[in-house]
Amino acid sequence: MAGTIGAEYYCRCCDTRTDLLPHVKIFLQICESISSHDDIKKILNLGVYVLQGSQRSAAERLLLVFEIAMGKV
């Protein structure tokens, strides 16, 4: 089955996994440049969705950052 699996994307066609952490880190940079609170919440929610369920320590730390940022918005 294709889709996200704990901060990774699994492609069923080519049987490869792509690390999504670098992409999710960019979400935080995007949030810094946006002034709309609604858009920031959407981006942060997407980041949380991608990171949830990951057992990697880097993903868990980044998830904590996203959750703190959501509390401030």
Give the tens place of pLDDT for each residue, 36-56: 999 999 999 999 999 998 999
Is residue 29 a part of any domain in this protein?
yes
Is residue 6 a part of any domain in this protein?
no
Is residue 5 a part of any domain in this protein?
no
Question: Nearest-CA neighbor of 17 among 27, 7, 32, 31?
Answer: 7
Number of domains in the chain: 1
pTM here is 0.84
Is residue 4 a part of any domain in this protein?
no
The yes-or-no verdict on residue 3 having pLDDT over 80 is no
Is residue 11 a part of any domain in this protein?
no
Is residue 50 a part of any domain in this protein?
yes
The yes-or-no verdict on residue 72 having pLDDT over 90 is no
Q: How many CB atoms lie within 10 A of CB 64?
A: 11
Asked if residues 18 and 8 have their Cβ atoms less than 8 Å apart, the reply is yes
CA 18 vs. chain centroid, Å, equals 13
Is residue 45 a part of any domain in this protein?
yes
The yes-or-no verdict on residue 32 having pLDDT over 90 is yes
Domain interval for residue 68 = 20-72
Is residue 61 a part of any domain in this protein?
yes
Give the whole-number percent of the chain exceeding pLDDT 90: 75
